[in-house]
Amino acid sequence: MTVFLIYEYFILCTLAESAQILGVFHSPSYSHQTVFQSIYVELSLRGHNVTVGTSHPLNNPRLVNLTEIDINRQTCAIIEEDQTISNLAKELGMYEKMVKFYAVAYKVAESIWSDSRFVQIYNDSGSRFDLVIVQDTMLPLLHPVAFKLKTPLVGVSSNGGWARSHYAIGNPNPLSLYSELYLPYGRRMTLPEKMANALYDIWNRYYLNFEALPKCDQIARKYLGNDIPYIQDIEKNMSLLLLTTNPILYEPRPNVPTVISMEQMHIKPVKPLPKDLKQFLDNAKEGVVYFSLGSNVKSINIPEKLRKVLIEAFAELPYKVLWKFEADDLPGKPENVLIGKWIPQQDVLAHPNVKVFVTQCGLQSVEEAVARGVPMVGMPFIADQTRNIQRLSEEGAAVGLEHTTLTKEEFKNAIFEVVNNPKYKQNVKRLGEIWVDHPLPSLNRTIWWIEYVIRHKGTKHLRSPTADVSWFEYLLIDVILVLLTIVSLALFILYVAIKFILRMIFGGRKLKQN
């Protein structure tokens, strides 16, 4: 039986062999790119010819089936020029954040559409692709390239799905249960939170339909011509939507068949550490605090007040501290602190002497900590980080802190709590066991579905009917209006009949009296 299953799997894989695949992953964030890299590297290793636009090319000569188009220069310049990371700060209102991010997204889209290397691909009548994989962000910026190339479209996200994406593909998204990705609401929203969530959704739908999506459509038509469908219709025809989710940080939901969940896609086997770093960790018998704010929120850019609090607290800890700091020198650096511009995070977290990970709680950093069994102290700055630390705190795997009001004692107490209380380590291990307990490893499952789309030239047979109905029909407003009309008409007829009968009875009696 086992031999038959292996043979059948081999046959299915060969049916999708040597497909021509185009991938466009425009986010200039390294942590997000690592998720996409895992996918397109595996596709190339399986014999597919893959062309990708990425801000972080691997430049690996051994990947002979992989062609990378480096878009780092233009995308990073736009992100830095518009101060995008600052504009995603959790202190800003959701409306303000989204409008600012949409404005940046338009510029990024234009920079890629106008790139001569992409122009050659989508304007070359001889270009033949079997699949297009596009990063799915707040807007369907580059989805129309799939229509231009006449190929199935797969959307992939390095975090959970946006409400827009769920609506487009027909996924249930009741506002009483699910909030937008960057809203910091818990599993069971309070009444004020549900009201805020509903009001945001109303605004978001209005802004998307009347401002953002028409702008995206206008940009796409500028480069692809007017013979393409409306951009929202292209988005609705996605064959798959691949989301980086898990049952801990994201509420379970009844997904339609074309929504596929991924987790810990970028986790790699542990590799040997550089000699000096290994020596530092090996000699830290008292334990190590690892501090990193990820690839987007850099330690070098945090406020001076916060940096002073961190330095003073680290100096008083009985542990060694490894700090990812993006400069050659850290003024006032305590003797127990080692800094590094770049640190092999997954391998460091695997070291037995690392007791706690102080993190901004980006999804990829959280996945790495859980995979290596390291409890966390969360210090959220932007995007979905507040949401993530709330979930981890509820699970007893982390302690959350507010960086804008942080004191030295609060920071030290949080570290001592996580290091000395065994429940945090136990809960992180429990979460790790849940995340990886699947019949098929996440990467294999993802590749199988992508090749499924290639084999069947799309997934029209799996398309949810909810993707093709308006909210008016979905909520049965038309049925309710018809029923109300019938009831109202019946009541009106009954009223007229009763009035007529009463008039006949009392009107006749009055006539006799006269």
- Reported as a single tens digit per residue, the pLDDT across 183-230 is 888 678 899 999 999 999 999 999 999 999 999 999 999 999 999 999
pLDDT the model gives residue 431: 94
- Identify whether residues 392 and 484 lie together within a single domain: no
Is 2 domain-assigned? no
- Identify whether residues 382 and 335 lie together within a single domain: yes
> Furthest-apart CA pair in the chain: how many Å?
118
Span 265-275, average pLDDT: 92
Q: What is the pLDDT of residues 43-71, one digit of tens each?
A: 999 999 999 999 999 999 999 999 999 99
**Total domains present in the chain:** 3
- Identify whether residues 173 and 297 lie together within a single domain: no
Is 158 domain-assigned? yes
Is 269 domain-assigned? no
Expressed as residue numbers, the domain containing 204 is 9-263+440-468
Residue 130: count other Cβ atoms within 10 Å of its Cβ: 19
Q: Summarize the chain as % helix, strand, coil (round to 5).
A: 50, 10, 35
Q: Which of 137, 132, 211, 199 is nearest to 168 (CA)?
A: 137
- Identify whether residues 152 and 223 lie together within a single domain: yes
DSSP character at residue 353: T
Q: What is the pLDDT of residues 349-364, one digit of tens each?
A: 999 999 999 999 999 9
CA dist 474 and 316 (Å) reads: 59
Residue 43: partners with Cβ closer than 8 Å, 6 or more residues away: 21, 50, 447, 450
CA dist 393 and 427 (Å) reads: 10
Q: Which of 137, 199, 183 is nearest to 384 (CA)?
A: 183
Note whether 132 and 151 are within 8 A (CB).
yes
- Identify whether residues 463 and 339 lie together within a single domain: no
* Residue 140 CB-density burial (10 A; 0-12 exposed, 13-18 middle, 19+ buried): buried
- Identify whether residues 417 and 321 lie together within a single domain: yes
Q: Which of 350, 325, 346, 364 is nearest to 33 (CA)?
A: 364
Dihedral (CA of 235, 25, 153, 258) sign: negative
- Identify whether residues 215 and 90 lie together within a single domain: yes
- Identify whether residues 286 and 400 lie together within a single domain: yes
CA dist 402 and 72 (Å) reads: 32
Question: What mean pLDDT value characterizes the chain?
Answer: 89
- Identify whether residues 187 and 226 lie together within a single domain: yes
- Taking the CA atoms of residue 442, residue 443, residue 446 and residue 448 in that order, the dihedral angle to the nearest 10 degrees is -110
Q: What is the CATH number of the domain that holds 380?
A: 3.40.50.2000
- Identify whether residues 182 and 77 lie together within a single domain: yes
- Identify whether residues 83 and 209 lie together within a single domain: yes
Residue 162: count other Cβ atoms within 10 Å of its Cβ: 22
pTM exceeds 0.85, yes or no: yes
Q: What is the pLDDT of residues 78-106, one digit of tens each?
A: 877 766 666 566 667 788 888 888 888 89
